[in-house]
Amino acid sequence: MTVTTGGALPDQLYDVAVVGAGVVGSAIARELARYPLRIALVEAGEDVGDGTSKANTAILHTGFDAVPGSLESRLVREGRRRLAAYAQQNGVPLEPVGALLVAWDDGQLAALPALAAKAVRNGHHGTRLLDAAELARREPHLGPGALGALEVPDEWIICPWTTTIAYATQAVRAGVTLHLNCRVQSVTSGGHHELSTSRGLLRTRYLVNAAGLHADELDHHLGHEDFTVTPRRGQLIVYDKLARPLVRHILLPVPTALGKGVLVAPTVYGNVILGPTAEDLDDKQATGSTAEGLETLRDKGRRIVPALVDEEVTAVYAGLRAATGHEDYRIRAHARQRYVTVGGIRSTGLTASMAIAAYVTGLLGDAGLHLGLARDLEPVNMPCIGEAGPRPYQRADLIAADPAYGTIVCHCERVTRGEIRDAMSSTLPPASLDALRRRTRAGAGRCQGFHCGAVVRALFEEGRG
Amino acid sequence: MSRTERTVDVLVVGAGPAGLAAAARLAAAGAGRVEVLEREQQPGGIPRHSHHRGFGPRHQPLDGPRFAGRLVDAAVAAGCVLRTGVTATGWAGPRTLDTTGPQGLERITARAVVLATGARERPRSARLIPGTRPAGVLTTGELLQTVRLHGGRVGGRAVVVGSEPVALHAVRTLRRAGAQVVALVTEAPCAPVQSPRHRVPVITDTAVAELTGRGRLAGVRLRDRDGGSTHLDCDTVVLTGDWIPDHELARLGGTALDPGTRGPAVDTAFRTSLPGVFAVGNLLHGGEPGAIAAAEGRSAATHVLRRLAGARPWRHGQVPLAVERPLLWIAPNRVHPDGPPPMEERFTLRTAERIARPVLLVSQDGRELDRQHLPRTALPGRAVHLRAGWIARADPEGGPVRVGVMSDSRQPGAGAARILTV
């Protein structure tokens, strides 16, 4: 098992290098790890899933409103099926809450039957129209003026952090080398690809570009001008767990040209999120929130679930979606270059990740990579950080075997000393408190460190040795 | 789930000043088995890491750890069972709590429950401060624990936000940890009272509009009331005050909340809306001094004992108290004309604005119940008190009792606020 975080890269020729350890790159590395290949997963950041993949709406989509016949439609549908099964086998938190597409005016109400028909064309037959009375029964805290809804029962919620970490953990355990803090600066392609990185030269026969927001730049290094990534910022507000009883489903707006609009949804951690905004920007680092963005969200949230905005805010975050101006994913194989670009993976990327991985693996095979015989990977038993639980603090058996699971350190999120210790000695140990939070939820709660910040930091530093 | 089931006479949740004082009084009065649960590894609550001499009675000031230590000693000497590292995670019945601790899971049923879970300062997210999410942004609670309990480092250049007394504790602690305090920023028109040796540049009428920096905090962008904007370079910002009760357990149990305090609504006997469940201390109203919280705990013990003795509570149908702007909250916030007077025969209130020569007006359904001229200017972040003599005049069948405030402008000198800016 190899994870490197600094120093010069080892002098080795890889069969495949995957650039970008977001949810898509990690899924691709994991899929390739099933074959007898030398694989490198190369990440500029200090952790996997530390870019766009960590800041999304955490929904396992159906793709009911994708463009029928598109690559995205196909990969989201297949990816949903694969990831739902994967989550159950590997302990990735998942809750089958279902979605309601709520109509707030006559125009939106009139659009619902067409959306139901579109869902059928995308292979989803389970949708159902609800009238205002049934909607009110199903979501009693909805604001006044909701006229009806389209129910999409297979839209679920999932933990995006655990998903990426599970993929990368499984990949590393199966022999993939993960190079963190390793930014690709340029590429020279001859007999094989030579990647000039912040940690020295990396040589590979095949190259996969899963660089997310930076996929267009890497593509340019290979001589392609297929697309330009325009970051689209999405700000989200996370409400207190005490707001969770206010919302039973993912509450979706009727989609507009700018995206899926502002939604209200439960999270697997037991919070409620409100968002995202959709702001087209030039700056690929602009992950800050703004007063205007938060005010817009609160105004919209007040209409959807009025009682929600009276609850305390636990966190605010902003993510950048890799919009390309194209309606579909930009996945291209350049066989002669032994190179595959995975671009324009939008908000559905989490859902589609495993299908994208299988598709990209196929493209690599078509481009001449000899894959060899596939094997099944050992499941990874991810720590249970979802409220569908039981969480370690609720388990008498675990505590009896090890009292560290009975010592709660982060009180808001009920994270125990045992879980923090486990994370610090895991296959992918956290390099920062943020990374520890994504593995355990420590510090993610309503007090944001008032009670636990000092002791969590002390345990983190102790665990780093 | 195998849980050990037990019964006790009184279960106190939280071993801060209020919980410890209540437990000590109850145990000393022969309430039977009085058990105190504390989720932290050390008892004492917030005073255990607050080293300033603001605790204890006025004639005998103590620092926080000494104050907490005396309360712990008194509770243990009185015969309380004090259990640290044990968290009450939820309710399994009207007076039955589930707990988690290193010894395992328990289900504890009590004849009376006293909630004393305290309060926290609102963090950056709850204050909706926009910007990036860098390291170096913390509350006073985290600062004090980092410096005092863990000997941890803080940054080199700090900005402190807030105008309550706790802002000055943050200034002192930062300096002690070797940081330079660049400024104290407050939206209030006046600064907290300062002694000369704590002199720090104060920027009033100003809000933090944005945090900047990637990885580590680079600075804060400030906006004053006229819309003017400046950027202050700093690597640490401490957000102080703006207390919110830690009301999770109370809400999970179904207690009614008071909209002003955001803590459980309680009557003058510290009773919540749930029979046999009492609430005390800063769970009721945010950041009051530890000595006040302890006094509430002792006062509540009297009412808990009455319940244990089988006394029938006075008739229900209590009248809620509601405050009008600029008043923020009042505690306790339920009354009944037949009920006991509140502790020290007065209610505690907070105001959002400075009011010179304040007059408190108490009315119910348009009928004036009382009018009280206060001796001192009402200041944000400081307690204001309303005497309780009018309770007997409240109509138990009437609407909410409203408490408003106005400035008595007939007297000279009103409104002459001196704004301190250094």
pLDDT of residue A309: 95
pLDDT of residue B222: 97
Cβ of A317 within 8 Å of Cβ of B141? The answer is no
Is the predicted pLDDT of residue B422 greater than 60, yes or no? no
Half-sphere exposure of B205 (CA within 13 A, CB side): 10
CA distance B33 to B143: 36
- Can you name the residues that pair with A317 across neighbouring β-strands? A236
From A290, A394, A396, residue closest to B130, measured CB to CB: A290
Show residues of chain A in contact with B219, CB under 8 Å: none
Q: How far is CA B234 from CA A290, A316, B197, B221, in A?
A: 20, 22, 22, 10
Cβ of B248 within 8 Å of Cβ of A400? The answer is no
**C-alpha distance from A109 to closest chain B C-alpha (Å):** 34
Show residues of chain B in contact with A47, CB under 8 Å: none
Show residues of chain A in contact with B123, CB under 8 Å: 446-450
Is the predicted pLDDT of residue B316 greater than 90, yes or no? no
Is the predicted pLDDT of residue B412 greater than 50, yes or no? no
pLDDT digits (tens, 9 = 90+) for B160-184: 999 888 898 899 999 999 999 999 9
Cβ of A399 within 8 Å of Cβ of B2? The answer is no
Cβ of A449 within 8 Å of Cβ of B138? The answer is yes
Sequence-ordered list of residues with C-beta below 8 angstroms from that of A299, at least 6 positions apart, any chain: none
> Catalytic residue at A61?
yes
pLDDT of residue A103: 95
Strands A59-60 and A156-158: antiparallel
Cβ of B125 within 8 Å of Cβ of A316? The answer is yes
DSSP H helices in A35-179: 71-90, 106-121, 132-138, 160-173
Question: In chain B, which residue's Cα lies nearest the Cα of A444?
Answer: B125
- Mutation target for A interface from B48, B145, B146: give the one with most A CBs within 10 A: B145
Q: Which of A21, A70, A28 minimizes the C-alpha distance to A43?
A: A21
From A288, A390, A458, residue closest to B132, measured CB to CB: A288
Please list the ranges in chain A whose pLDDT falls under 70.
256-260
**C-alpha distance from A24 to closest chain B C-alpha (Å):** 24
- Confidence class of residue B415 from pLDDT cuts 50, 70 and 90? very low
Q: Which of B343, B348, B379 minimizes the C-alpha distance to B286?
A: B348
φ/ψ (deg, to 5) at A196: -85, 120
Give the per-residue SS3 of B293-351: HHHHHHHHHHHHHHHHCCCCCCCCCCEEEEECCCEEEEECCEECCCCCCCHHHEEEEEE
pLDDT digits (tens, 9 = 90+) for B351-410: 988 899 999 999 999 999 999 999 999 988 889 999 999 999 999 999 999 999 999 865
From A396, A412, A450, residue closest to B1, measured CB to CB: A396
Q: Is B350 buried (19+), middle (13-18) or exposed (0-12) by CB count in 10 A?
A: buried
ipTM over 0.90: yes
State the sign of the Cα–Cα–Cα–Cα dihedral A234, A235, A240, A245: negative
Is the predicted pLDDT of residue B419 greater than 50, yes or no? no
Question: In chain B, which residue's Cα lies nearest the Cα of A412?
Answer: B248
- Confidence class of residue B152 from pLDDT cuts 50, 70 and 90? confident
Interface of B with A (CB under 8 A): 1-3, 39-40, 85, 87, 89, 100-105, 120-126, 128, 130-133, 135, 138-139, 141-142, 145-146, 149-150, 152, 209-212, 214, 244, 246, 248, 251
Show residues of chain A in contact with B105, CB under 8 Å: 394, 396, 399, 406
Show residues of chain B in contact with A458, CB under 8 Å: 150, 152
CB B336 within 8 A of CB B314: yes
pLDDT digits (tens, 9 = 90+) for B327-360: 999 999 999 998 899 999 999 999 988 899 999 9
Query: B315 or A214: whose pLDDT is higher?
Result: A214
CA distance A49 to A45: 9
Cβ of A396 within 8 Å of Cβ of B101? The answer is no
From A317, A393, A447, residue closest to B120, measured CB to CB: A447
Is the predicted pLDDT of residue B195 greater than 70, yes or no? no
Question: In chain A, which residue's Cα lies nearest the Cα of B139?
Answer: A450
Tokens of B295: 């006094």
**C-alpha distance from A179 to closest chain B C-alpha (Å):** 20
CA distance B156 to B154: 7
Cβ of B146 within 8 Å of Cβ of A290? The answer is no
Tell me the average pLDDT of chain B.
91
From B102, B123, B131, residue closest to A407, measured CB to CB: B102
pLDDT of residue A137: 97
Q: Is A114 buried (19+), middle (13-18) or exposed (0-12) by CB count in 10 A?
A: exposed
Is the predicted pLDDT of residue B417 greater than 60, yes or no? no
**C-alpha distance from B242 to closest chain A C-alpha (Å):** 12
DSSP H helices in A317-404: 349-366, 396-401
Among candidate residues A61, A179, A221, A249, the one labeled active-site is A61
Question: In chain B, which residue's Cα lies nearest the Cα of A242?
Answer: B248
Interface of A with B (CB under 8 A): 238, 241-242, 285, 287-291, 293-294, 312-317, 390, 393-396, 399-400, 403-404, 406-408, 411-412, 414, 433, 446-451, 453-455, 457-458
- Mutation target for A interface from B87, B125, B154, B255: give the one with most A CBs within 10 A: B125
From B104, B210, B211, residue closest to A400, measured CB to CB: B104
pLDDT digits (tens, 9 = 90+) for A303-331: 999 999 999 999 999 999 888 888 899 99
Q: How many CB atoms lie within 10 A of CB B359?
A: 16
DSSP H helices in A228-339: 291-304
- Confidence class of residue B193 from pLDDT cuts 50, 70 and 90? low
Give the per-residue SS3 of chain B: CCCEEEEEEEEEECCCHHHHHHHHHHHHCCCCCEEEEECCCCCCCHHHHCCCCCECCCCCCECHHHHHHHHHHHHHHCCCEEEECCEEEEEEECCEEEEEECCEEEEEEEEEEEECCCEEECCCCCCCCCECCCECEEEHHHHHHHHHHCCCCCCCEEEEECCCHHHHHHHHHHHHCCCEEEEEECCCCCCCCCCHHHCCCEECCEEEEEEECCCECCEEEEEECCCCEEEEECCEEEECCCEEECCHHHHHCCCCECCCCCCECCECCCECCCCCEEECHHHCCCCCCHHHHHHHHHHHHHHHHHHHCCCCCCCCCCEEEEECCCEEEEECCEECCCCCCCHHHEEEEEECCCECCEEEEEEECCEEEEEEECCCCECCCCCEEEECHHHHHCCCCCCCEEEEEEECCCCCCCCCCCCCCC
pLDDT above 90 coverage of chain B, percent:
79
From B100, B125, B212, residue closest to A393, measured CB to CB: B100
From A450, A454, A457, residue closest to B120, measured CB to CB: A450
**C-alpha distance from B142 to closest chain A C-alpha (Å):** 5
pLDDT of residue B323: 97
pLDDT of residue B418: 35
CB A318 within 8 A of CB A288: yes
Cβ of A400 within 8 Å of Cβ of B85? The answer is no
φ/ψ (deg, to 5) at B400: -60, 145
pLDDT digits (tens, 9 = 90+) for B198-246: 678 899 899 999 999 999 999 999 999 999 999 999 999 999 999 999 9
Q: How many CB atoms lie within 10 A of CB A371?
A: 16
Cβ of A406 within 8 Å of Cβ of B142? The answer is no
Show residues of chain A in contact with B39, CB under 8 Å: 408, 411
CA distance B161 to B184: 6
- Confidence class of residue B1 from pLDDT cuts 50, 70 and 90? low
Cβ of A450 within 8 Å of Cβ of B141? The answer is yes
**How many cross-chain Cβ pairs, A to B, lie less than 8 Å apart?**
126
pLDDT of residue A127: 97
